[in-house]
Structure 1
């Protein structure tokens, strides 16, 4: 059965539909793979019964001659930021340990309605705050990749590190992720898979534990562009319960896939040639230009002059919104309650939050509270919002000259776990290429390009115009076809 775990979303769905194998066989194969991969620590909770129940439903539908849905028979991993009815949802934080929602997030419900099943809840950086998956209360996620000649544990990226690790290790054919400032794209690049952050508002945020509400966006992570297109189609759509949800029809992205880029212009932002970027990443960027030229595109130079201010602005806006969003975790309504003997209400608040939040979450709450405080609001938060507007205008002007932008996803390949723990600023710089598209709410996708001299994957990023996920997917497909990337980690777990 192990060969079933090498199949992606499209191959599983089509194989179940044409009777090559049953959905139950697929679910059993992946459940076994998940159980055997405990050393990755990719899952916080496993739900083999959920995967089997969905598989049995798909097999019964097929027997009756009914349509299975676009995710029919496909078991997936669910990032533990999405509320799942009756299944613990923690955001990888002690403060929510044991919290079992009485409702289902809109995105997860759409996936179940499309025929998918759940293998379990995936580990992440606590409250999605982190770039290495080392801030989880439930322990680090290990990347399935290793440097050649080394057994050092590597970062799977963050915050969607459980998702990237599970997909790269072939213990899930696909997974949900969320992207606030690169948390789908950076882990996808680190682990040699694909991940797309759609236009802000394309996927509902209802039932997703909030980090920074004006930035958070759900998206799929899978091993191919085609699989991402299928899954995004299932996840997206208007939701009246989310005030920021786009009231637009969901395009048929899978049917629209086309790697012919004749007549398309791809922009290369000169400001993305930054100090500290690995030479091998710059080399892969050059290779990416050639692949897109070969697909028929014209390469043009563009300028995004406010790029250097994007990361500082992000690390004001995101913590400010986090400070506000995380105020609800007070020990009163749900989750952890720490009530010392003889304590009053304020003491309970303080004790609960001190015990429940990890160091990185506390750091961002402190930053956010500071920049929102009297006397500093205008100096920091208002200025950051102005920069955000300028970053958006940069993209608008660039897209007057091109259809999409090609850039590196990250400035480096994956790094050993623990190597940046004493240096939060270097850790934050991991998101330098990903944050601008997040601030502007644009669709952006990471596609694996090559492996470096250490045998670790490198990704390239396509950023598209608002609502043009199809253009992003098509450019990604063109690169995927030309890169021929088929590297996968050697099993050690």
Structure 2
């Protein structure tokens, strides 16, 4: 069968259960596609073919014995920020180029328990710091829709692998938009859950109060299948919340779009730099939701101008603290022939970390230093609370909030945007992480250059089911999520 990569997760699950094809056949199909196509896309850092086939055989045995879950035998790609036992875990950095994890991240372990087959680890911006996937030590991943453009970041490899049909779905992480923006750039659906909904154990930390794992897939339905595996309390993660998990697949039609109040923030649609095509496609998608019975309500989010400065004080400060563990002593990159302990620290870190990571560590260390901690970091945390309250006030009158996922479509590779230009591109996504809210990207069309545009819907706490349901119903009425890049149409 040459079209297995065109099947949805539901169709893969039903096909495996009905013995239309085996997990080994499905896994071999994807491995052949990776071998044929990924040299052009560069989405994978490590392909685990031998392990994948062994897992596929075990999945086939479980299906035959009647011990299968809904996802037993379905292949998956993991962002290379999730620790995987016995497999290299790099976080896109030279610092961890030689690191083989002795344990599985909870997300990976849950996937294994559900019978998922790991195809490999996919590329990302170094330590999840970036919006283009160009900062990876392993080279830039390409956008399957236009190979001279970026796929977004930091989960660019996750999005590119799915968009090129080199994996049915993938795990990603989102610290300031790193699931939603690549999903937008690659024409996919990506969900950033409520902070604490998905375990961070074994997920290499960037900014601990902002990081959250989630799914990237073609549709809301596909994302729901993976959320059923990823979500839930984990005693190993002190920030994981002990709260019942929905059956996201069963709830896909649980929210009626009829009567849904969608907040339209005035400030979001007057942002300097918002591309005219992006604005038009997003407004068209909102008009469609209005036709389906939703009500559009204009709202104010008065803290919008504070998003970028607040985020870019808090995130680098936490990164500075988290990345201090990479010192050349215990594991990871170590410089050659250090003269003394200070030389070991300095050269291991300056040689092991890339430019963007060093830049953010320096910003964060400055913000945390004795003379500036109160003036910068503490003040940013106070503003963070005001941003959260701004959202909560809005949710008193609306059910979800709509915005573009990014002000533009994908950038050209090597565009060399200044750090400030790059950071301003996160205007629509970072506030969600500061407030800990859930949000989802849905593909809603293309710009004049045929690059995908994404709509973002932001929900109140624990409203993942609602977000998935609204997007699922929108996707039943439209076909943007079914569009494929030319490279994805290539058969293995």
- TM-score with structure 2 setting the length: 0.97
Given candidates 357, 372, 381, the residue that maps to 2:353 is: 357
**Are the aligned partners of 2:282 and 2:454 in contact in 1 as well (CA < 8 Å)?**
no
Aligned residues: 485
1:334 aligns with 2:331: yes
**Are the aligned partners of 1:70 and 1:234 in contact in 2 as well (CA < 8 Å)?**
no
Tell me which residue corresponds to 1:149.
Answer: none
Tell me which residue corresponds to 1:413.
Answer: 409
**Are the aligned partners of 1:331 and 1:338 in contact in 2 as well (CA < 8 Å)?**
yes
Q: Deviations over 1:103-160 (max 9, x none)?
A: 10001110111111111000000000000000000000011112xxxxx611000000
CA distance in 1, matches of 2:66, 2:408: 49
CA distance in 1, matches of 2:140, 2:210: 25
Cα displacement (A) at 1:422:
4.7
What is the RMSD computed on CA atoms of the aligned residues? Answer: 1.2
CA distance in 1, matches of 2:66, 2:117: 20
Tell me which residue corresponds to 1:95.
Answer: 95
1:264 aligns with 2:260: yes
Q: What SS does structure 2 have at the residue aligned with 1:213? A: coil
CA distance in 2, matches of 1:276, 1:133: 21
CA distance in 1, matches of 2:304, 2:95: 36
Cα displacement (A) at 1:69:
1.3
Given candidates 302, 305, 308, the residue that maps to 2:305 is: 308
Cα displacement (A) at 1:236:
0.8
Cα displacement (A) at 1:88:
0.3
Q: What SS does structure 1 have at the residue aligned with 2:425? A: helix
**Are the aligned partners of 1:448 and 1:480 in contact in 2 as well (CA < 8 Å)?**
no
Cα displacement (A) at 1:295:
2.5
**Are the aligned partners of 1:291 and 1:478 in contact in 2 as well (CA < 8 Å)?**
no
Q: What SS does structure 2 have at the residue aligned with 1:70? A: coil
1:112 aligns with 2:112: yes
Range with bigger deviation, 56-65 or 432-441: 56-65
Change (3 A) 1:186 1:218: same
Q: What SS does structure 1 have at the residue aligned with 2:457? A: strand
Tell me which residue corresponds to 2:167.
Answer: 172
Given candidates 178, 183, 191, the residue that maps to 2:178 is: 183
Cα displacement (A) at 1:250:
1.2
Cα displacement (A) at 1:270:
1.0
Tell me which residue corresponds to 1:27.
Answer: 27
**Are the aligned partners of 2:10 and 2:222 in contact in 1 as well (CA < 8 Å)?**
yes
Q: What SS does structure 1 have at the residue aligned with 2:78? A: strand
CA distance in 2, matches of 1:22, 1:120: 19
1:236 aligns with 2:235: no
- Residues 38-437 of structure 1: pairs in structure 2 closer than 5 A: 38-66=39-67, 68-146=68-146, 153-258=148-253, 260-273=256-269, 274-340=271-337, 343-419=339-415, 421-437=416-432
**Are the aligned partners of 1:76 and 1:118 in contact in 2 as well (CA < 8 Å)?**
yes
Cα displacement (A) at 1:448:
0.3
**Are the aligned partners of 1:447 and 1:479 in contact in 2 as well (CA < 8 Å)?**
no
Cα displacement (A) at 1:340:
3.2
Q: Deviations over 1:222-250 (max 9, x none)?
A: 00110001101101110001000010121
Q: Deviations over 1:159-197 (max 9, x none)?
A: 000000000000110000000000000000000011000
1:457 aligns with 2:452: yes
Q: Which runs of 5+ in 2 are unaligned?
A: none
**Are the aligned partners of 2:281 and 2:446 in contact in 1 as well (CA < 8 Å)?**
no
Cα displacement (A) at 1:50:
2.3
CA distance in 2, matches of 1:232, 1:349: 40
CA distance in 1, matches of 2:337, 2:57: 48
Q: What SS does structure 2 have at the residue aligned with 1:246? A: coil
CA distance in 2, matches of 1:12, 1:394: 42
Q: What SS does structure 2 have at the residue aligned with 1:2? A: coil
Range with bigger deviation, 312-321 or 472-481: 472-481
CA distance in 2, matches of 1:285, 1:145: 19
CA distance in 1, matches of 2:35, 2:376: 47
Tell me which residue corresponds to 2:467.
Answer: 472
**Are the aligned partners of 2:310 and 2:380 in contact in 1 as well (CA < 8 Å)?**
yes
Q: What SS does structure 1 have at the residue aligned with 2:456? A: strand
Cα displacement (A) at 1:487:
2.2
- TM-score with structure 1 setting the length: 0.96
Q: What SS does structure 1 have at the residue aligned with 2:131? A: coil
